[in-house]
Structure 1
Amino acid sequence: MTFSTRSRATVAVAAALGVFAVAACQSEEAPGADPTTAALVTSDLAAQSQAPAAPAPVGPTRRISLDDLGYDHGDPNAPVQLIEFSDFGCGYCRRFHEEIWPVLEEEYVATGKVYWKYMPMVLGIFPNATEAAQAGECAGEQGSFREMQDRLFADQSVWKRSDDPMADLTAMAEDLDLDVERWRRCIANGVRDDRIAAGTQLSQQAGVRGTPTFFVLGYAPIPGALPLELFREVLDTAHAAALRGDGPSQGPGGP
C-alpha cells in the first residue's frame, strides 16, 4: 500500500513547510529518503488498528513489526496518524519535547484528532545517546518510559557530558522509584536493544537524516522541529483533509 495521490491538502502542507528553515540535529551518514519506504512507514502506522503491520527486519533472522515499537499516544483510529523519530541526545528534540509537544498533545492528541507514535532511535552522533536510549527502554519495561523520557531531556546536558553516564542514568532511575536492579539487568543483558536497533534501522530505511523527523500519514516527512504555529497549520490542514476525505489515498489498491 503506497501513497502517491497529490491532493490539495498535500499542496497546502508543502506550501506551509516551504518557508521553514530546518531545525534538526543532522547526520551526514544517513542515506537519502526512499519514497517507497517512507510511504510504508506511514502506511504501517495507519494499518495498526486494522491488520498486522509489515515487519521491520532486525539482524539476519529476527523481525519486529512497527506496532511492537515506539510509544503510542492517543486514539489509534484518530483521523491523523503521525510517527516521530527522535534521539535523546538531540538538542532540537529536547526543545520540541519541552516546548511544543505538551501543547500539541493537549490540542490534538487528547482531543482525538491525532494518533502520535514516538519512536526512539540513535543517530550515532551524540555522546552517550545509546546508553540514554537503553535507560528509556528499560524504564519502559516497567511502565515508566514517559517519566524517564522527561528526565532524559531535562538532564540532557548532564548525561551527555558525563564520563560515567550510567551513574547519572542510575540516579534518574532511583529518583523515579524504578526497580533499579531489574532496570540494571535489562540494560546489561540488552533486553530491549532490539527495539532501539529496529527503530534506528526503520529511520534509516525511511531516509531520516536528522531528528526530530515527523511522518504524517500520506504526506512528505517533516524534517525538523517546526515552530508551534506552523505545526498547528500542518496538523489542522491534515485533519480537515481527513474529515473531507480529501487527504492522500490511504486504502489498499490506491494510486
Structure 2
Amino acid sequence: MNKLFPLAGALALALGAVLFWPTSNSGSLTAFGAAEAQEGEVDTSIVKEMTQGDPDAPVTVIEYASATCPHCANFHKNVYPQLKENYIDTGKIEFVYREVYFDRFGLWAGMLARCGMPRGDDADEAEMETAEKRYFGLMSIMFDQQKQWLDAESPAGIAENLSKIGRTAGLSAEQVDACLQDAEMAQALVQVFQENAEADEINSTPSFIINGEKYSNMPYDEFAETLDGMLDN
C-alpha cells in the first residue's frame, strides 16, 4: 500500500517541478515554477468529479488511487472489473474515482486521461459523455500497462510512453502535448487532490470512502460483503 508524503510536499512538488513535459515538435522541456504557479487563486471548477453508476444509489464508493501505485493497479485488474459488473453497471452503487499524486508521473497520467474533456456548465452532454468514457478507458489502460509505461530511463521516456497511450485512444500528439502543458489544469488537479485528501484523511492508496466511512484495500469478496451489508439495511 503506497503511503502519502505530507500534502504540502505534494503540492510543492507538483507546482514547482512537475510540468517538465518534452514537446513532440522540438524535444525541448516546458516548465513553470512554483512562484508563477501560485499567483492568484486556483480555479478548481475546471476539475470534474469522475463518477460511474447511479448518482441516486443508496451507497457511494469513493476510491483514492494513483496511476503509479502498484497496489492500485492490482485492485483495478483483479477487483474493479467485478465491482463494475455487479455493482456499478447494475446501479447498486455510485462509484467516484479521485486521483492521488505521489510524483509528476501520476499527475501527467491524470492530465492525459482528462485530455479533451469539455469545461464549464455549457459543455455539450454527448461530448462530455464521450470524454468521461475515454477517461476511464485511459485510466484502465494505464493501470493494465503500469509497469511498461513507467519502465523508462528518464522522465522523457515516460512522457513518450504516456503519449503513445494517449494516441491509442485517438488523441493526436499535439493534443497530448497541449494537455500535458496545461498549467491551469495541473494546479487545479493538485488543489482538488489536496482538499479531498485532507477532508477524508487519506494517507495511503488505494483507500476507499464508503458512505462516509474509510476502508483500506480489500479483496473482492470482502468488498462485496461490505457493500451487501449496506445495501440490505
Give yes or no for TM over 0.5.
yes
Return the match for 2:223 from 226, 231, 234: 231
CA 1:112/1:189 → structure 2, altered by over 3 Å: closer, same or farther? closer
**Equivalent residue for 1:116?**
95
Q: CA RMSD in A?
A: 2.5
**Equivalent residue for 1:240?**
232
8 A contact 2:2–2:204 mirrored in 1 = yes
Matched, 1:185 2:178: yes
Q: Deviations over 1:74-125 (max 9, x none)?
A: 110001112111100001110111110110111111111100011112134x
CA 1:95/1:187 → structure 2, altered by over 3 Å: closer, same or farther? same
Number of equivalent positions: 187
Identity of aligned residues (%): 22
**Equivalent residue for 2:140?**
150
CA 1:166/1:234 → structure 2, altered by over 3 Å: closer, same or farther? same
CA distance in 2, matches of 1:133, 1:123: 12
- Give secondary structure in 1 for the equivalent of 2:232: helix
**Equivalent residue for 1:26?**
3
- TM-score between both structures, scaled by the size of structure 2: 0.71
Structure showing the higher helix proportion among its residues: 2
Q: Deviations over 1:100-151 (max 9, x none)?
A: 0110111111111100011112134xx7222222222226567121221122
Q: Deviations over 1:177-217 (max 9, x none)?
A: 21331221121133532442134211133211111111111
**Equivalent residue for 1:45?**
none
8 A contact 1:140–1:146 mirrored in 2 = no
8 A contact 1:123–1:210 mirrored in 2 = no
**Equivalent residue for 1:132?**
109
Pairing of 1:45-56 with structure 2 (within 5 A): none
**Equivalent residue for 2:62?**
83
- Give secondary structure in 2 for the equivalent of 1:192: helix
CA 1:80/1:228 → structure 2, altered by over 3 Å: closer, same or farther? same
CA distance in 2, matches of 1:231, 1:158: 28
- Give secondary structure in 2 for the equivalent of 1:221: strand
Pairing of 1:10-21 with structure 2 (within 5 A): none
Mind listing any 5+ residue stretches in structure 1 that lack a counterpart?
1-23, 32-58, 242-255
Matched, 1:159 2:153: no
**Equivalent residue for 2:126?**
none
8 A contact 1:84–1:213 mirrored in 2 = yes
- Give secondary structure in 2 for the equivalent of 1:82: strand
CA distance in 1, matches of 2:187, 2:7: 20
Q: Which has the higher contact order (CA 8 A, sep 6+)?
A: 1
